[in-house]
Structure 1
Amino acid sequence: MITQNKLQQAQDALNHAIGKVKNKYRLGYHIMAPANWMNDPNGLIQYKGDYHVFYQHNPYDENWGPMHWGHVKSKDLVHWEHLPIALAPGDTCDTNGCFSGSAVDNNGELTLIYTGHHDVDKETDIIYENQNIAVSTDGITFHKIVENPVIPEPPADSNTHFRDPKVWKHKDSWYMVIGNSTEDKIGRVILYRSLDLRKWSYVGVLAEGNETLGFMWECPDFFELDGKFVLLISPQGMKAEKDLYNNLYQTGYLVGDYDYQTNDFTHDSFIELDHGHDFYAVQTLVDDKNRRIAFGWMDMWESDMPTKADGWCGALTLPRELTLGKDHKLLMNPVQELDALRNAEHNIIRQQKVADSYLVEVNEELLEIKAVFDLENCHASAIGVKIRGVNEEETVLTYNLNQQKLTLDCSKSGRVNDGRRTATLEANELLSLRIFVDRSSIEIFANEGQTTMTSRIYPIEEKLGIEVFTENGEVRIKELTYWSLKDIWE
């Protein structure tokens, strides 16, 4: 009965907190908890026709705390419905937290695989972690199995970091990757195998880093995509290198070839996946259209989080379809279903030369913008787009043609400290920007996902509009279109 009592207490606390939430920065078309804290996306799956997304959640406070699993579902990846809290900690297998994990459909039984977190000594940060299972036949109510923990401890050559299981089926076997750290504090991903999801055997190390790739690889995800294998990881402890790795923790990937018989994964170097301020713990699912769809946590550890003052914190990114591009580069683009968010289309510019700037007055808070610049005969040194407030506020996206770099500057939209992020983007003939603006977020997809930038912003002014601009010359703008977007949460 511990679980049911804990779930009811958590749901009651959440229901009470909902009435205190302020809507100042609440997002219009992103997944958020109804109130209080959320972080990593968990358990992404399409089950009985619905998309399910679970997430790390503290229903008791707007700060991180005892991790529960929040839960939403959708039929179209656009309109989301909040469901009751799925998992609560407090049993012997998960004393202090139901940490991140994944979901599979086991012959109609929705199975959640998650990490049980246990604090041995909080003051000295001594912990231990194990892997557990909870099941459901209706996709709403879950019970933890009596066999928990199904993996009680990490391999002998590990330290205590042992979490975030991602499970999939290949032929007649289930496989599980887990984020891990060696005794020498080197991040790695380890692999297990099972025939029944209950009894697991350790296969070995799938991939391991070095001193430059962090002390722990969180939230691994391993899958085949367009003939190659991709390992997504979120390393903790990497040092910044010029424009790279400027957040506290990173998310990126390794691409290569894999042999199930030998557990041999030969791969290229680590590549950062998103170049904004707020993208972490990305996880994926495969849907019935055979698309690999990803969500990330749209916040970052130890960053300023002004929404806490409003009784909530944390959001997930838009759903993004993953594909492999040239040179095995992983591309992310918004799923097609997001077109359903659009209200009326406003075509502002078609094949028009602009020198200096061109302003379109728009006071909508929820926007999608498409801006396409012709670079073949461009005489400017830089071009870009500003989302402007009525006075001083602006969020600025600038492309420097000589350096071939894209810079997002949020320092005048609520990120006074550490407001800029820059990414290399080789755009030779065309710069195409697809920009999603929500009340407190911006997501940028440049040149069909060659570069993405995701950041939280915290404006206080009303919107003035959208401005395209140039520096030191003119550019032909092939297209400038915007849509106001629906608020799915009303």
Structure 2
Amino acid sequence: MKTLRNQHQEKISKAIESVLNEQESVDQNHWRLQYHVSTPAFWMNDPNGFSFYKGEYHLFYQHHPYSPEWGPMYWGHIKSKDLTYWEHLPIALAPSEEYDRDGCFSGSAIEKDGKLYAMYTGNVWTGDNYDTDLRQVQCLAVSEDGVHFNKVPQNPVIDLAPEGDIHPYHFRDPKVWKKDDYYYCVLGSRTKDHEGQVLLYCSRDLLNWEFMNVMAKSQGNLGFMWECPDLFSLDGQDVLVMSPQGMKSEGDLYHNLHQAGYVKGKLDYKTGLLQHEDFQLLDYGFDFYAPQTAEDEHGRRIMIAWMAMWESSMPEQKHNWAGAMTIPRELSTKQGNIISKPIPELKQLRQHHVQYKNITVNGEQELAGISGDCYELEVEINAKAASQFGIKVRTDNDTHQETLLTYDRLESLFIFNRDKSGEGDGGIRKAPVGLNDNHLHLHLFVDKSSIEVFINEGEKVMTSGIYPADNAKGICFFADQEIELITLNKWNLSKGVSPLIF
């Protein structure tokens, strides 16, 4: 009879072989991202186990290593010394035991006694309906080196959902942290009537967990399930990040299938209750879900999210890969709201700097040296009297492709339009944005099949996958009346992710 460890390792080895066989052909795809984390091949979704361990950042992720479609979940693994240059590592977890046979679902990681512990949800399908026929338990795996993990014999460490108005089966995504002498974790949950909520647990040793309370729950339009919760302190306030499923659209907001955002407040560690303010989005684009944060050695709170969404069509699947992560973003607060900025370490990727100053635009205008498909662009715009202005990126005159980024002064909206962005889904997303002294600051990170727009120093962010033609590399500025590009800086960005070597 195989030992549990050998059974687990055998499944990991087969999965790695599957990925390695496909990696080279995947890298030939012209949509293949250059500085965003993705899998060497096949499917990726939620970030998991994002942590700082022995001087390096470790990022795990939901991974199906046999197909570009979602399937039985493994934990893929990648690490970095600087959140910029990433090195693929062997797959860390495989569904190998009776309690996780249909998937090692999302979770988190924490250092204890020099070891890295991964806490995750073991998933078992008990029938054909994946919404109703399931059993979920919380499990633990431990690593001496941050690379090779063994599941603990005490698994599952949380076996049953608590009594009360708590759904017995939808019970997942543990995020663990330590405060004083205790470890705590939050779990995504729903009520029996399908309203989202988050559960709080505590433990002294990561093995024996005690349910404390329903920490927070949906009121009004906050969905039927809260996935991937994360609780941390930022600038003196507690922040609960979660991904509500099933929110209904309200005006310009909540038009994705599911959302990702936060509430700020104060957690009472004695009662286990979070008193909090209203829900706020973390990203106003199309493709941003399941964000997870980590605190690094500098005390920064860094966030990474899945740069996709469950209803997205994902044209890259025909090239045997799917999904990616956002660039890492540093969180802080400004006037009571969370702002997210690209981490400064990404400047290491910069090449071929082009700069302009005091450029007048009226109508449409292209600039010499300002084009590409993998770049960073930062521009400060004086709106003057213009009512609509912005940037078209990834443009191509032959195919009439463009991704349209427009500021509408009359509506105080920033509008992201990907109806002509190439293959894949179209659509429009809008974010409420005001001008600062009649100025708009935009900071764009464009990769081969993605774009992240940081607006007014991270007050709002919009993220999307786009799938333009290979030669769609134009950049065009436009305005309905005269505007001024006060400063414009553009850099090509180099490759940041190395292949899996095994």
Structure 2 length-normalised TM: 0.94
Task: Choose from 470, 485, 490 the match for 1:482.
Answer: 490
From the superposition, tell whether residues 476 and 209 of structure 1 become closer, same or farther in structure 2 (CA, over 3 Å): same
Q: Kindly state the Cα deviation for residue 379 of structure 1 after the two structures are TM-superposed.
A: 1.1
Equivalent in 99, 114, 135 of residue 128 of structure 1: 135
1:255 corresponds to 2:264: yes
Provide, for residues 259-300 of structure 1, a one-character-per-residue CA deviation record: whole Å limited to 9, x for no partner.
212223111111111011100000000000100000000001
- CA distance in structure 2 between the aligned counterparts of 1:464 and 1:12, rounded to whole angstroms: 36
Q: Distance in 2 between matches of 1:144 and 1:417?
A: 40
Matching residue of 1:405: 413
Instruction: Give, in whole Å, the separation in 1 of the partners of 2:125 and 2:247.
Output: 25
Instruction: Determine the C-alpha separation between the residues in 2 that align with 1:466 and 1:104.
Output: 43
| Residue number among 8, 14, 31 corresponding to 1:9 in the alignment | 14
- Contact map agreement 2:292 2:303 (CA 8 A) in 1: yes
Shift of 1:386: 1.0
Could you give the per-residue CA deviations for residues 3-37 of structure 1, whole angstroms, max 9, x where no partner exists? 12211221122222224424221001000000000
Task: Name the counterpart of 1:460.
Answer: 469
Within 5 A, what are the aligned runs for 1:424-443? 424-429=432-437, 430-443=439-452
Deviation at 1:488, TM superposition (A): 2.4
Which of 224, 241, 245 is residue 233 of structure 2 equivalent to?
A: 224
8 Å CA contact 2:284–2:431 kept in 1: the answer is yes
Structure 1 residue aligned with 2:90: 84
In 2, Cα distance between equivalents of 1:467 and 1:19: 34
Q: Who is 1:395 aligned against? A: 403
Residues 55-134 of structure 1 aligned to structure 2 (within 5 Å): 55-123=61-129, 125-134=132-141
1:192-207 equivalences in 2 (<5 Å): 192-207=201-216
Does structure 1 residue 244 correspond to structure 2 residue 249?
A: no
Task: Give the SS at the match of 2:98.
Answer: coil
**Aligned equivalent of 1:356, options 334, 357, 363:** 363
- Residues 323 and 331 of structure 1 are in contact (CA less than 8 Å); yes or no, is this contact kept in structure 2? yes
Q: Deviations over 1:416-454 (max 9, x none)?
A: 754211110112422000001100000000001111000
Q: Partner amino acid for 1:234?
A: S
- Matching residue's letter, 2:313: D
Q: Superposition pairs for residues 163-182 of structure 1, below 5 Å? A: 163-182=172-191
Find the aligned partners of 1:52 and 1:439 in 2 and give their Cα distance: 24
- For 2:61, the aligned partner's letter is Y
Distance 1:448 1:363, change over 3 A: closer
* Counterpart among 440, 448, 456 of residue 447 in structure 1: 456
Partner SS state of residue 77, structure 2: strand
- Give the letter for the 1:138 counterpart: D
Cα pair 2:307 2:323 within 8 Å, conserved = yes
Q: Deviations over 1:63-117 (max 9, x none)?
A: 0000000000011111100000000002022111000000000021100000000
Root-mean-square deviation (Å): 1.4
Residue aligning to 2:3: none
Say yes or no: does 1:214 pair with 2:219. no
Task: Supply the AA of the counterpart residue of 1:71.
Answer: H
Tell me the CA shift for residue 128 of structure 1.
0.9
Q: Please give the residue correspondences for 1:301-450 in structure 2 after superposition, counting only pairs within 5 Å.
A: 301-326=310-335, 328-348=336-356, 350-361=357-368, 362-375=370-383, 378-387=384-393, 388-391=395-398, 392-414=400-422, 417-429=425-437, 430-450=439-459
Q: Secondary structure at the match of 2:418?
A: strand
Deviation at 1:412?
A: 0.9
Change (3 A) 1:239 1:432: same
- Cα distance in structure 1, aligned partners of 2:381 and 2:72: 48
Which region of structure 1 is more displaced relative to structure 2, 12-21 or 384-393?
12-21
Looking at structure 2, the residues matched to 297 and 464 of structure 1 have their Cα atoms a distance apart, in angstroms, of: 25
Residues 212 and 271, structure 2, Cα contact 8 Å, conserved in 1: no
Where in structure 2 are there 5+ consecutive unaligned residues? 1-5
Shift of 1:353: 2.6
Q: Residues of 2 paired with 1:261 and 1:363: CA distance?
A: 56
For residues 342-367 of structure 1, what are the alpha-carbon distances to aligned partners after superposition, in whole Å with 9 as ceiling and x for unaligned? 0021112x123321122024442211
SS of the residue corresponding to residue 180 of structure 1 reads strand
Whole-Å separation in 2 of the counterparts to 1:201 and 1:270: 28
The answer on 1:154 being equivalent to 2:175 is: no
The CA deviation string for residues 387-431 of structure 1, in whole angstroms up to 9 with x for no partner, is: 122431111110011111000111111267542111101124220
Q: Secondary structure at the match of 1:27?
A: coil
Identity across the alignment (%): 45
What is the Cα deviation at residue 481 of structure 1? 1.5
Counterpart amino acid of 1:374? Answer: N
Relative distance call for 1:323 and 1:312 in structure 2 (3 A) is same
- Report how far residue 174 of structure 1 moved: 0.2
Displacement of 1:461 in angstroms is: 4.4
**Cα contact 1:352–1:478 (8 A) shared by 2:** yes
Alignment-mate amino acid for residue 382 of structure 1: Q
In structure 2, how many angstroms separate the alpha carbons of the residues matched to 1:266 and 1:208? 11
Post-superposition CA distance 1:298-349 (Å, at most 9, x none): 00102111000001000000000000111x211111001001110021112x
Deviation at 1:211, TM superposition (A): 4.9
C-alpha contact 2:238 2:265 (8 A) present in aligned 1:
yes
Q: Is the 8 A contact 2:387 2:408 kept in 1?
A: yes
Matches of 1:461 and 1:2, distance apart in 2: 44
Matches of 1:371 and 1:439, distance apart in 2: 20
1:479 Cα offset (Å): 1.1
Report which stretch shifted further, 35-44 or 3-12. 3-12
Secondary structure at 1:62 match in 2: coil
User: How many residues end up aligned between the 2 structures?
Assistant: 485
